[in-house]
Amino acid sequence: MPEQLHRDLYFKLHNVEEYPDAIDQGGGVLQNCLSEALEAAHKYNHPILQFSEFSDAAVDRFVQAEQDAVILQWREYLQRRTNGQGREMFLTADDARRWIINRAPMKFVDGAWLGYIHRTTGPYATRSITKDLWQILSEEIGDGDLEKSHVHVYRQLLQSLDYDPGQADSRRFSNNGDMNDAYVWKASVLQLLISLSPDEFLPEILGYNMHFEMLTLDTLIVAKELRELNIDPTYFTLHITIDNSHSGHTAMASTAVVKYLTAVKMEHGDTVVKQMWSRIQAGYALSSCLTPGVKGNPTSWYSPLAADVLDIFKAKAKASDGIHDACAVRIGNKSLSEWMNPRTFESERSQREFLACLSNSRPWVYKGDSSRSRVVRSMLWDGRMFGAFTEDEVDKVRRWIDSLCEDDKQEDIIYNNYSLKQPSPLNDDAVSPDIRVSSLPSLIRNLGHARVPDIPNTKNNSPLKLAIPTDAKVNLERLIPLWMAHPCLLESWVSVPWRIGSSEGCAAVRLLRAQLGFAPERSGVDGMDEVRREDPKGMVEIGLEIMNQTGSAAPRDLDEVLHWWPSSFAYTLVSLALRPTKHAWLLFGMTLAFVHLHEYLSVHGSVMSQKSQAILGEISAREQTILDELRQGQAENGSEAREFYTGYAMAKTEIEACFNSDQ
């Protein structure tokens, strides 16, 4: 049943325009998974929990320690291979092919945990942080270049293996029997779910992102062994390079965490920082504990020592099967014979149960004190298990026991310091008008009931040009709400990575990059160069400058803007933007109208500084080029063209009403 639930949610979240009920259905799944991950992380003393206090130096040390551990394991793996041991992941090409097919649901949502980040409706105080996360998302989906999209690269890998799983947003895909790893479906759905509340769950997203973007042993091994089997390893080598800790996604992810908590500290002090750090740890645990490892089950959530201990006992169970049948020793609720059965270690659930029972069974294990623990003493000279364990194996068991924490009350730390319904502190006291645009889940949940105006049919020969006199005066009360809302038009294109696999999707990404103030696309990746770029300005930032002309206080978010300057058309923009599949070309038509507004104000922009005018001119030139390329080959009398002209006409009417030549 759980796997079918996750398959169903996977389909619905790819088609949320038609299935807004998935929001409520998925909310409980996400909360349960967070609880499950936290419980596992505490039980096995996950390394992230060893850093109870935040500091930028502590984050750096943790990231470096995690990478050092991976490199050490990688070197040990290479040494085993040098000594003549065979491949550890794939015995044959058929094994590799089955594994690659099974991973498709997760690889087809690569980057989805950031799908709704840095939205126009989010709090302005966190935009410098969410912008860094959006750069990671942009690179995951190829910066608008289909060939660089991670989803596309994985699809090409499947095609090279003569396999077509279907479109990720289809029922055929979610019902595919060849992709039968329940852990993969669960982990895939979590990526889609956590993205849906980018403001309320920002700390958890930061933590999830920090783990997911780290270099993993799994990726290193898979890349090497696929190459040996003459299977294209590009998808995996790409993640080895782009996730690097100097200029890549690992560095960007940890920098975003430090930037966020530093801002929280300045605004709210150390107590709130501690709470938010706990929530970041929760997000990290969610990814670490529930992401499938290289051998299938998500054993990567165990600490390295716990994983070693599991491997040791798994091997011993196979070698000693049946030998303990006459032994009366019991650990927890099972006999030693029941535990030391190879089937015990076949499922993730029984692995967790084994470690939990062993770690909580005195006198066999005294947490933090291996010298008192009978399981270690029985492995030494005069012990009943002497010789069954090598010296190195005994040392690993000893170190694992010493790493355990005796105080079980530590399990309450994270639970008591964050609430799943609590917003990020940098968005405190948000204004609550009658209609809230900042509550993304509510907007999506109410898609079926939202009032969208009747969209008139417009003749295709309508001029694509704004009729604004050069001497027109700006009515800021009408312009400001439209300006602050209009960057939302194309945002939902990136909410699921699969949507980028078309010319429209790639154009939407490049248009968003221009509107959000990112540097023009180049042949490589910008990575940390974009994070370090000084004073980047996008539409929202220029809009905040325009608002300074009114002498008003800086608003906290779009909700507050629309509370001060009501505009029904601004709400229409937000509602239409959540339907990129249904209204694709209508949204592109509206976008062109606003591009023409950008072009106009870059020349006649007395409402902003000359520097912002220059930036706006550069942005509008980029936008126009992208839209021209997109529309090449579009049939003049086709339905796409009609929708495009209609969208332009709708936005044109509202934009022109913001100017008055008689004032």
Please indicate, yes or no, whether residues 555 and 614 belong to a single structural domain of this protein: yes
Q: Tell me the residue length of the chain.
A: 663
Please indicate, yes or no, whether residues 334 and 240 belong to a single structural domain of this protein: no
Whether pLDDT at 428 is above 60? no
Please indicate, yes or no, whether residues 138 and 168 belong to a single structural domain of this protein: yes
Q: Give the span between the Cα atoms of 206 and 532, in whole angstroms.
A: 18
Share of the chain above pLDDT 90, in %: 56
Whether pLDDT at 544 is above 90? yes
> How do residues 308-342 score in pLDDT, each as one tens digit?
888 888 888 777 776 777 787 888 778 887 888 87
Highest mean pLDDT: which of 164-168, 245-249, 360-364? 164-168
Please indicate, yes or no, whether residues 363 and 337 belong to a single structural domain of this protein: yes
Q: Identify the residue with better confidence: 308 or 11.
A: 11
- The secondary structure of 213-245 as a DSSP string is TS--HHHHHHHHHHHHTT---HHHHHHHHHT-T
Please indicate, yes or no, whether residues 445 and 372 belong to a single structural domain of this protein: no
> How do residues 146-158 score in pLDDT, each as one tens digit?
999 999 999 999 9
Whether pLDDT at 478 is above 90? yes
What was the pLDDT predicted at 548? 86
Please indicate, yes or no, whether residues 590 and 450 belong to a single structural domain of this protein: yes
Q: Give the span between the Cα atoms of 80 and 76, in whole angstroms.
A: 6
What was the pLDDT predicted at 295? 43
Please indicate, yes or no, whether residues 381 and 444 belong to a single structural domain of this protein: no
Q: Give the span between the Cα atoms of 170 and 127, in whole angstroms.
A: 34
Please compute the mean of the pLDDT values over residues 492-517 and round it to a whole number. 95
> How do residues 288-313 score in pLDDT, each as one tens digit?
887 775 444 454 445 567 778 888 88
Q: Is residue 167 helix, strand or coil?
A: coil
The pair of three-digit structure tokens given for residue 521, joined into one six-digit string: 């696309």
| Residue 251: partners with Cβ closer than 8 Å, 6 or more residues away | 244, 245, 527, 528
Any domain includes 70: no
Please indicate, yes or no, whether residues 166 and 197 belong to a single structural domain of this protein: yes
The pair of three-digit structure tokens given for residue 360, joined into one six-digit string: 């909580």
Q: Give the span between the Cα atoms of 303 and 46, in whole angstroms.
A: 5
Any domain includes 418: no
Q: Identify the residue with better confidence: 575 or 552.
A: 575
Q: Supply φ then ψ for residue 331, to 5 degrees.
A: -125, 115
Please indicate, yes or no, whether residues 211 and 290 belong to a single structural domain of this protein: yes
Tell which residue, 588, 448, 564, 570, has the closest CA to residue 511: 588
Any domain includes 56: no
10 Å CB burial of residue 406 (0-12, 13-18, 19+) is exposed
Tell which residue, 401, 395, 327, has the closest CA to residue 363: 401
Q: Give the span between the Cα atoms of 27 and 196, in whole angstroms.
A: 9
What was the pLDDT predicted at 419? 41
For 134, 311, 401, 446, the CA distances from 45, given in Å and listed in that order, are 32, 17, 10, 41
Please indicate, yes or no, whether residues 586 and 474 belong to a single structural domain of this protein: yes
Any domain includes 533: yes
Burial code (b: 16+ CB inside 10 Å, e: under 16) for 488-505 equals bbbbbbbbbbbbbbeebb
Long-range contacts of 27-30 (CB under 8 A, 24+ apart): 27/193, 27/441, 29/5, 29/189, 29/190, 29/193, 30/190, 30/193, 30/194, 30/420
Q: Identify the residue with better confidence: 506 or 437.
A: 506
Q: Give the span between the Cα atoms of 649 and 464, in whole angstroms.
A: 8
352, 372, 405 — which closes off a domain?
405
The continuous run of DSSP H or E covering 335 comes out as strand 334-335
Any domain includes 299: no
Highest mean pLDDT: which of 220-229, 311-320, 328-337, 627-636? 220-229
Share of the chain above pLDDT 70, in %: 89
Any domain includes 60: no
Domain count, the chain: 3
| Residue 98: partners with Cβ closer than 8 Å, 6 or more residues away | none
Window from 194-198, 412-416, 656-660 with minimum mean pLDDT: 412-416
Whether pLDDT at 133 is above 90? yes
Please indicate, yes or no, whether residues 146 and 263 belong to a single structural domain of this protein: yes
Domain of residue 200 covers: 2-16+24-49+83-117+125-294
Q: Identify the residue with better confidence: 542 or 301.
A: 542
Any domain includes 311: yes
pLDDT confidence tier of residue 452, bands split at 50, 70 and 90? low
Please indicate, yes or no, whether residues 365 and 499 belong to a single structural domain of this protein: no
β-pair type (473-474, 659-660): antiparallel
pLDDT confidence tier of residue 405, bands split at 50, 70 and 90? low
Any domain includes 497: yes
CATH number at residue 265: 1.20.910
Q: Supply φ then ψ for residue 330, to 5 degrees.
A: -125, 140
State the chain's mean pLDDT as an integer: 86
What was the pLDDT predicted at 456? 65
